[in-house]
Amino acid sequence: MLPVLVEKVVYNHINKSLFEKKQKFIEHLDKEEINDFIVRNDASETYASFSTLHSEFLLLSRVPLRSKVNQTFFITEPRIIEEERNDYRILQYYFRYENTNYLLEIGNSLSEINDLTFIIRFFIIIVLIIIVVITFLADTFYIEYLLKPFYKIIDTKIRHVNEPEAFDHTPIKTHSRDFQELDTVLNQMMDRISELFKKEKQFIANVSHELLTPIALLKNKFENLLQNESLNDVAVDKIVSSLGTLDLLKKVIANLLLISKIENNQYEAKESIDLDAIITNLVTDLQDRIEDKELSFQKNLEHHFSFTGNKTLMHILFYNLIVNAIKYNKPCGTIEIKDGFLNGNYFLTVSDSGIGLNVKQQQNIFKRFTRVSSDLEGQGLGLAIVESIAQFHQITIEIRSEINVGTTFLLVFPNEQKLN
């Protein structure tokens, strides 16, 4: 809008200047000048005066008696003066002098005004672009500066906190009362969460003691009953079945406690782990199961990867994966373990040629008590334990499977170990 306003101001200024020139011309107009004009006897009956550069002109003409009188108009139109066409701002004044009507026209060239207006518009556009760029950069950096405490709160107190004990209660340095309030509320909330976590851990410890102890007592009583020679075969079978149920219950409780302890970070993770040695020992221990199904086992580990974590938990992780590869494999099938590097990260795969999984099974495979087949033994906690151990060690685990082709578990290890 600024060029339009400038143009309006310029036109008002020109109009005022033209009006002042008109007043001077009328004030000094007398009979002699009019007679001179008439004596000239021009065919056009027009008196004209032009500036050297055609920037201004004055035109006096006779008009019919029936024309307007004592009226002033301002118009903008092109005029050809001495064969040169220009745009002019023109004042038209109709007046009567000694019973004769005249039209006085005083014009001011707009060529310079138009050039000036173009320059102003161009200059305004350049300035506007510069202002927009500077404002954008200033706002970006200023907003970044203002939100720096917020990002620091998100980064240090939310994003990288995996357990309440690792929460940093140090107040964030900021002059914003809103961010100070946010920091205080987060500290208070994390204190409450930390207290709840402590109570949960205590509850888990109590549950492990209270549940496992009665199970052990029942198992001892059943085993003592088996020593009674007066029992018939039916009673013995029922007792043996009950012992199996107790063993299963004990395993379920132990696995749930294991998952809970892993998720509560109750394990140390400072041991140097030799993955090749763990897998070799497991294959040796499970050799009987492998031979029973006549499976072909291939271990192709070409890299020595230094890994720090909990050796017992990693042993459990690979035990569950290899046992699943045996359990859900086909007779005379294959199991392959190999390693390599993917996008700079060390990876290890456990593959089998078993029954495979459909898409829905792959989505739910890591959920607790999810079983691939109800015909096989298991509690559906093995892969839930695998996922918990992988998360504890910051290992990314993926599954790739196809029905009747096989399943592959991909473990991608972090370059820098950042354990919970």
User: What's the CA angle centered on 55, arms 51 and 58, to 5 degrees?
Assistant: 55
Phi, psi of 237 (to 5 degrees): -60, -40
Structure tokens at 328: 């859900």
Structure tokens at 214: 């009665």
* Rounded average pLDDT over 181-201: 82
d(C-alpha 247, C-alpha 267), whole Å: 25
- With contact defined as beta carbons under 8 Å apart, do 417 and 394 qualify? yes
pLDDT(374) > 60: no
d(C-alpha 286, C-alpha 222), whole Å: 30
pLDDT in tens, 50-79: 665 667 888 888 888 776 788 888 998 888
Q: Tell me, what's the pLDDT at 248? A: 81
**Amino acid at the residue 41:** N
pLDDT in tens, 335-361: 999 999 988 899 999 999 998 888 888
Instruction: Give me the residues paired with residue 300 across strands.
Output: 338
pLDDT in tens, 268-318: 888 888 899 999 999 999 999 999 999 999 999 888 887 888 998 999 999
> Confidence class of residue 129 from pLDDT cuts 50, 70 and 90?
very high
**SS3 category, 413:** coil
> Confidence class of residue 420 from pLDDT cuts 50, 70 and 90?
very low
**Amino acid at the residue 166:** A
Start-to-end CA span in the chain (Å):
61
* Rounded average pLDDT over 129-141: 92
More confident residue, 304 or 162: 304
Q: Tell me, what's the pLDDT at 373? A: 61
pLDDT(418) > 50: no
pLDDT in tens, 76-116: 888 887 777 888 889 998 888 777 788 888 888 887 777 77
The pTM of this model reads: 0.54
pLDDT(159) > 80: no
d(C-alpha 167, C-alpha 153), whole Å: 11
DSSP for 41-98, written as a single string: T-SS-EEEEE-TTSSEEEEEEE--TTS--SEEEEEEEEEEETTEEEEEEEEEEEEESS
Q: What is the mean pLDDT of the chain?
A: 82
84-96 sheet: strands from edge to edge: 46-50, 56-62, 101-109, 84-96, 71-81
Q: Tell me, what's the pLDDT at 44? A: 46
| Burial of 348 per CB tally in 10 Å (0-12, 13-18, 19+) | buried
Nearest in space to 25 (alpha carbons), one of 60, 56, 61, 52: 60
For a pLDDT cut of 90, what percent of the chain falls above it? Answer: 21
d(C-alpha 335, C-alpha 125), whole Å: 71
Q: Tell me, what's the pLDDT at 42? A: 47
